[in-house]
Chains A and B, each alone.
Chain A
Amino acid sequence: MSQRINYQKELENLHQSMIRMGSDVEESIHLAVLALTENDVELATKVIDRDDIIDDQERKITQECILLIARQQPVASDLRNIAANMKLVTDLERVADHAEDIAEHVVFLNDKNYSVVVPHDVVKLTEHTLKMIHAVLDAYVESNLDKAKQIVMMDIRVNALYGKLKKYLVRQMKLDPEGAPAMVEMLLVCKHLERIGDHAKNIAEWIVYFIEGEYITSSEIRKEVESNEKGRGSSE
């Protein structure tokens, strides 16, 4: 027979608050990327304005976690759940900060009348980053261990794309010194996208901790996933 009904409700409310915040953060990145590719200043301003709402969500969720610990003294998976939420809410808020930063670069580029053609690889980088955030939120909602572990592998791709873009943009700066200020802005946008990938990976690590009860680093997760994939490959 289930007991502590209010406690269960409070845990469920926390979960729902996280899902709402996750969805808002995902939309912020989506809008920031759209503002970049469409060169839409109005949309970029909207992203900047949304950040206060997300900051507020972070504060409320942190407070909910602290009160749950103080009043309900959670143990075992409930404790891990709350501890993981307290950690990953910070990562989510940082993701929103990077979305805001990207939007600010769009505004800056417009203010300076810099004309920039968004390289195709930047579009690819945005797609991958968005996929990562979407997948990690899915893993959170479903408490899905395999999906969470796959995020670590997705981050490898994002890092590789960022490295490639960095080289490309530096080369472009050398070829076209006058266009360098705009390229610097583009490079910073890429760095923000790469950092979003890192935060998604952190979130994935906390999901793994919540489910498995042990903190496993992303490099350990990567080794495990690679060894499983190798095992599957050899048995096929």
Chain B
Amino acid sequence: MTQQIQVKTDNDNAFDIREFDLYYTDFHALKKINMEIPLNKVTAFIGPSGCGKSTLLRCFNRMNDLIEGVRTEGEIYHHDIEIHSKEVDVVQLRTDVGMVFQQPNPFPMSIYDNVAYGLRCQGVRDRKILDEVVETSLKQAALWDEVKDHLNRNATKLSGGQQQRLCIARAISLTPEVILMDEPTSALDPIATNKIEDLITELKESYTIIIVTHSMSQAARVSDMTAFFLLGDMIEFDVTEKVFHNPRDKRTEDYISGKFG
């Protein structure tokens, strides 16, 4: 576990990553990563498979804690708190930093219960509050109009795109500050993908979004900032327009142009 160092971070950032290394036993998966993830922006992580982008994403809500043999060095600050420090409540961290996965993973229960699940786990029983949060979350996830008349329907009956938006609504219900998205559209058709991409653009008004994607065009379309990773190194991190128009590093250029990877 990392050594605790208290340093105030810039309030404009959702995360400050300082000299961060991650090892899967002996494998050095992330190497001296330094970057600042800005608040209320969409930051895209791109890079070939095995480059470390999903590994870093999973660090932000300490999902890697669940993997045996993971060891980290360096710091990740969420505001002024180093997220690996003892005082951090991991459950609270995962409430603040929600996550949406590659495969939509609704619970086998009603649409309503899926969205209300997190709050109920927190002990909220007031039906009025639950109703309000379910409606607001589904509206923010652009799903309300499609499901408002059958909230008791089993969520697994929804289409793939709807299921993914339901998962976003479930994440939103806990009013997180950050939403992590790990290839959220890779299992979806183009129409469902467009809806999720539009939703990402709307959500950034209220949330910080970090998205891992294998689609260069998706990164170019939806993100404000783009980071390119290669073999555990962060090669380039800049505003998306710069990365896709005039990248600094030849390796970034070759990757986004499809010349390798």
Chain A residues at the B interface, C-beta cutoff of 8 Å? 1-4, 7, 73-80, 213-214
Contact = CB atoms under 8 A, between A and B. Distances in A.
A76 B259 contact: no
Contacts of A213: 245-246
Contacts of B246: 76-77, 80, 213-214
Contacts of B257: 4, 74-78
B227 interface: no
5 shortest A-B CB distances, which residue pairs? A213-B246, A4-B258, A75-B244, A76-B253, A75-B256
Interface string B250-261: 001100111111
Interface string B225-256: 00000000000000000001111000011001
A80 B246 CA distance: 8
Contacts of B51: none
B259 A80 contact: no
B245 A2 contact: no
Contacts of A214: 246
Given A73-B217, A75-B216, A75-B220, A80 B245 contact: yes
Nearest to B217: A73
Nearest to B216: A75
Interface of B: 216-217, 220, 244-247, 252-253, 256-261
A76 B260 contact: no
Contact of A76 (B217, B256, B261): B256
Contact of A1 (B220, B247, B260): B260
Contact of A2 (B216, B220, B244, B260): B260
Contact of B258 (A3, A77, A80): A3
Nearest to A213: B246
12 contacts: A4-B257, A73-B217, A75-B216, A75-B257, A77-B246, A78-B257, A79-B244, A79-B245, A80-B245, A80-B246, A213-B245, A213-B246
Contacts of B260: 1-3
A213 B238 CA distance: 15
A75 B245 contact: yes
Contacts of A78: 257
B235 to A, nearest CB: 13
Contacts of A2: 259-260
A7 B256 CA distance: 13
Contacts of A4: 257-259
A196 to B, nearest CB: 30
Contacts of A74: 257
A76 B258 contact: no
A74 B252 CA distance: 14
B50 to A, nearest CB: 15
A170 to B, nearest CB: 47
Contacts of B261: 3
A45 to B, nearest CB: 46
Contacts of B259: 2-4
Contacts of B253: 76-77
Nearest to A77: B253
Given A4-B258, A4-B259, 8 more contacts: A4-B257, A73-B217, A75-B244, A75-B256, A75-B257, A76-B244, A76-B246, A214-B246
Residue with the greatest number of chain A CB neighbours at <10 A, chosen from B244, B246, B247, B260: B246
Nearest to B246: A213
